[in-house]
Amino acid sequence: MRVGIVGAGITGLALTHYLTEAGVDAVTFEASSEPGGVINTRHVDGKVLEAGPQRMRKTPGVAELAAAAGVDDAFVEADKQELYVYADGDLGRAPLSVEEFLWTDLLSLPGKARFLAEPLTRQGMAEETARDLFVRKFGKEAYENFIGPLYGGIYGSDPAEMPAAYALESLLEREETAGSFLQAFRKRIGQGQKAPPASMEDGMQQLPNALADSYSENIQLETPVTDIAEQPDGRGYVLTTPSGSHAVDQVVVTTPAHVTAELLDGVVPGAEKLQSLRYNPLALVYLDAEPGTDGFGYQVGYGEELHTLGVSWNASMFDRDGVHTVFLGGMHEPALVEKSDERLGEIAREEFRTIMGCESSVIDIARLDPGFPAWDQSWWTLEDLDTPDGIELATNYTARMGIPSRVKEARELAKALADEDDANEAGISVRQQNGQQARKSAGDD
């Protein structure tokens, strides 16, 4: 079997590793000159700036992948895991365990009582929005002061526009077995805390760079796939690139939705609907300031009249020499991303001063467009999308975001493909059985 992988982001790179380890022939094509996809590290004036994910969880899967790439000794782990929310004009520590809810100053006593009454509420429903579910389960105060900002901040989205069927799929499944949404949330947080937040010495992109170097014979950079077509005999597919045509038995597409829509046009009915999936554009303003508090950073509560979505304290987390990353735009203010660098810098500095009480200077500004998948109402489009045997989507818009989730899906998909190669497709393919399960469970590692 020969597998063609489109895209050398972390999913494509991890898949290349696991397939090669399993003895499956894999070739990976990447349009850009650098691997990593959304993982993008800049170096400006000697400072490490992340124009993408600011950190990852060092799960066993991520640690194993780094070891395979020879960079397992380059991890930098965060000592403090506190996360804050700016609400009611004050910076309060977000409760990341059920016990912490008892003393948090982000909730009043009635708000805490309402939150802890969640087990008495009706089970979450897929047709609800994330906002409606959170408010019904935990109360309006808890939603507006920290649950909404924390959850929406992951995607730069508005939970009022995010269907629970997609945005909270794994938690809804966990609720059925845990007995309540609160217990399901508690178990997820507990698992996450077992894996420390981490980066790499040279920034997040050090991991994909090392993987690309390790598998350079399998990966072709600056080689975009311009077309995917079925082979004349119906046995596999042909990937067209500027360097020529490449026959493969299986195709795994890891590219953004609008790119995938164009590539699959003609081989997947309804693929053009992927064009409607919404991404949230983001502006990242990097400020140089003295670390004032230990922790990850903060999100801004919904009651505050500020443009800032949140700030990542890279200086505190990973000793990044004064670097603080301010996030602007997202679903709430997408047009803000189009403002001038000068205006974005002014907003970031003024609001950072308001919240942190200290001055800062602008190091650099980055814009992400497309940014992160919105997981909003446009995701219902996926209900009508069905890829044929031999084509698999392994992406952060069809399964959970986050580097550990991407690595886990790649590992499980590679196993399914390797099993299918051994089984030679007896009845329903092993890929279909295991691949579907991989998408549902991705992120539990």
Q: Is the pLDDT of residue 293 over 90?
A: no
The rounded distance, in Å, linking the Cα atoms of 411 and 17 is 9
Element (H, E) at 116: helix 109-116
pLDDT in tens, 335-358: 999 999 999 999 999 999 999 999
Whether CATH 1.10.3110.10 fits 92-192 = yes
Whole-angstrom CA distances from 280 to 45, 142, 165, 166 are 29, 24, 19, 16
| Whole-number average pLDDT of the chain | 90
pLDDT in tens, 358-416: 999 999 999 997 888 999 999 999 998 999 999 999 999 998 889 999 999 999 999 99
The rounded distance, in Å, linking the Cα atoms of 224 and 245 is 12
Q: What is the dihedral of CA 100, 96, 61, 58, to 10 degrees?
A: -90
DSSP string, 353-404: HHHH-S--EEEEEEEEEEEEE--SGGGGGGGG--PPTTEEE-STTTS--SHH
Q: How confident is the model over 323-337, as a mean pLDDT?
A: 95
Q: What is the pLDDT of residue 236?
A: 93
Name the pLDDT band for 438 (thresholds 50, 70, 90).
very low
Name the pLDDT band for 444 (thresholds 50, 70, 90).
very low
Q: What is the pLDDT of residue 257?
A: 96
Range in 72-86, 207-221, 275-289 the model is least confident about: 72-86
Q: How confident is the model over 233-262, as a mean pLDDT?
A: 95
pLDDT in tens, 58-109: 999 999 999 999 999 999 999 877 899 999 889 988 887 767 777 888 899 9
Q: What is the pLDDT of residue 153?
A: 85
Range in 144-158, 186-200, 264-278 the model is least confident about: 186-200
Q: How confident is the model over 287-309, as a mean pLDDT?
A: 91
pLDDT in tens, 7-66: 999 999 999 999 999 999 999 999 999 999 999 999 999 999 999 999 999 999 999 999
- Does the pTM surpass 0.85? The reply is yes
* Fold designation for 279-373: Polyamine Oxidase; Chain A, domain 2 (3.90.660)
Q: Is the pLDDT of residue 426 over 60?
A: no
Q: Is the pLDDT of residue 443 over 70?
A: no
Q: What percent of the chain has pLDDT over 70?
A: 93
Identify residue 191 by its one-letter amino acid code: Q
**Which residue do the tokens 């996926």 mark?**
382
Q: Is the pLDDT of residue 188 over 70?
A: no
Per domain, the residue ranges of the chain are 2-39+205-277+378-441, 92-192, 279-373
CB–CB of 425/444 below 8 Å? no
Report the CATH number of the 2-39+205-277+378-441 domain. 3.50.50.60
